[in-house]
Amino acid sequence: MKYITLNNGVKMPILGYGVFQVTPEECERCVSDAIETGYRSIDTAQAYHNEEGVGNAVEKCGLPREELFITTKVWISNSGYERAKASIEESLNKLKSDYIDLLLIHQPFGDYYGTYRAMTEAYKAGKVKAIGVSNFYPDRLVDFCKFNEVLPAVNQVETHPFLQQRKAHDWMRKYGVKHESWGPFAEGKNNIFSNPVLKEIGESHNKSVAQVILRYLIENDIIVIPKTTHKERMKENINIFDFELSKEDKQRILELDGTESLFLSHYDPETVEYLTGLK
């Protein structure tokens, strides 16, 4: 496994396992399979309603806690200092852990400055090893970095071949914030697994489209957390450290970038209404 070093010196696997849309009933089994397959980084969130499944799998896996890297995120309904502080304790309990490796603000809505104060306090107390944000567009990220004592270590944003976030990546790099991808496979949109460019590149390396995508992202210093409920796909997704893409390969993938989200815009009032109404 390749690791990257966050801006506070903490080391994080560049590839992990994400549990977005994994049901609470399936989560423990899936995370157990992922750990058995070799994953050491697990990404969950309060809004996924499956932190308990992650905690159960981690508790039963037989590995020392320090060998695992667990990420969770504070949801909008828990924003503000007091609610965020309470929710962090609740997440610790559900995860059955004395600490969280990486804690993110899930969305840039609500009193996220108050949320970050609670996160900073937990970080200083050793309950959290690193803190950061998710879904912060470059303007929000720069503002946030300017007015917080502890710089975010990570910004997790939609990133895949059809939205490569190159400008956002440059702004993250300027402020020492690591770029993490959610939705590296674009949840199958635009027939990504049948894309002729990605298929041809995969065939030239005897690799799948999924492996080509993940390899492309990590070669661009982007953390990836692919999700699957199938153990065979978990094995496939982690098997990306034995090949490299050529300069030509990378240029061809770069040209797939449409620069627009395939999911939602945080500038859209209806999207904001929808997200802020979720629990």
- CB distance 257 to 163 below 8 Å: yes
- CB distance 88 to 115 below 8 Å: no
- 12, 78, 21: which is closest to 44 by C-alpha? 21
d(CA 235, CA 214) in angstroms, rounded, equals 13
User: Is 48 annotated in the active site?
Assistant: yes
d(CA 247, CA 254) in angstroms, rounded, equals 10
Provide the token pair at 170.
Answer: 């440059």
Consult the annotation and say whether 49 binds a ligand: no
Please provide the DSSP assignment of 180-227 as one string. Answer: EEE-TTGGGGGGGGG-HHHHHHHHHHT--HHHHHHHHHHHTTEEE---
d(CA 216, CA 170) in angstroms, rounded, equals 17
- CA-atom Rg of the chain in angstroms: 18
Q: Name the active-site residue from 48, 112, 116, 216.
A: 48
Binding residues for substrate: 106
The residues annotated as belonging to the active site are 48
